[in-house]
Amino acid sequence: MFVTLQRFNEKILAKLATFCIPLRGVKQGTDNYEFLLDDEFFREMESIDILGGAVKASVAVRRANEANYFSIHCQGTIQIVCDRCLEPMDYAVEANYDLAVKYGDEYDDSKDGVLIVPEGDNVLDVAPIVYDTVALCIPLQHVHAEGECDEATWQALQAHTAHGIDDELQEYGSYADDDSAAEDIDNETNIDPRWAELMKLKDNKLKNK
């Protein structure tokens, strides 16, 4: 069991090692590299946003005057979770990122587009860089196209949400019907905004009856 796990880890490390690009020891000019970001890649990056995918990452490296200039292009499809039905969905991505890698006293990535690495670093692991390039393509809200959501899951979520609101309204109603409790609410200067919204929902329900 231990030997099998060790071999598995060695295989993973060997695959991720292919994302290491030399910074020194090569002639000046431009070199091109290509990588496939697949399900295993995103899993090993311990991604919580991307479930998997198939993305081609092309990296052109121009070396000049002790500096390395990276031009990264990523294109393909990733799998993320739909915000509406919480089921996996495919999302097409395409992005470019330019990065200048220079040497300095210590590691510094505080400036966008510029990476300072220690003098002793002879290679750069671009795995986290290409991952971030892809991850930044994900919009704040991502949902299936109309009609593609998992209907059963969507209906279950709607029912659960509606049931939760009704429970909170009922709990608040029994509390607010008490005169002393109502007086406490009137005297409260800072009302929880969640209760304010529930009060509005309750009032609307009563008006519509």
The whole-number mean pLDDT for each consecutive block of 10 residues of the chain, a chain of 209 residues, reads 43 62 88 95 92 97 91 97 90 97 93 93 94 95 84 66 52 51 49 53 53
Beta-carbon count within 10 A of 37 CB: 25
Longest dimension (CA), the chain: 84
**93 and 8 co-located in one domain:** yes
Residue 159 lies in a domain: yes
- Write down the pLDDT at residue 8: 39
H or E element in which residue 134 lies: helix 127-135
* Residue that terminates a domain, selected from 102, 135, 168: 135
Instruction: Taking the CA atoms of 113, 116, 121 and 127 in sequence, report the sign of the dihedral they define.
Output: negative
Range of the domain at 198: 151-207
| 20 and 75 fall within a common domain | yes
Q: How many domains does the chain have?
A: 2
Residue 143 resides in a domain: no
Same domain, 71 and 29: yes
Q: How many other CB atoms are there within 10 angstroms of residue 127's CB atom?
A: 20
Residue 58 is assigned to a structural domain of this protein = yes
Whether the model clears a pTM of 0.85, i.e. scores above it, the answer is no
Quote the tokens at residue 119: 């003098």
CB atoms within 10 A of CB 131: 21
Please report whether residue 140 resides in a domain.
Answer: no
* 12 and 113 assigned to the same domain: yes
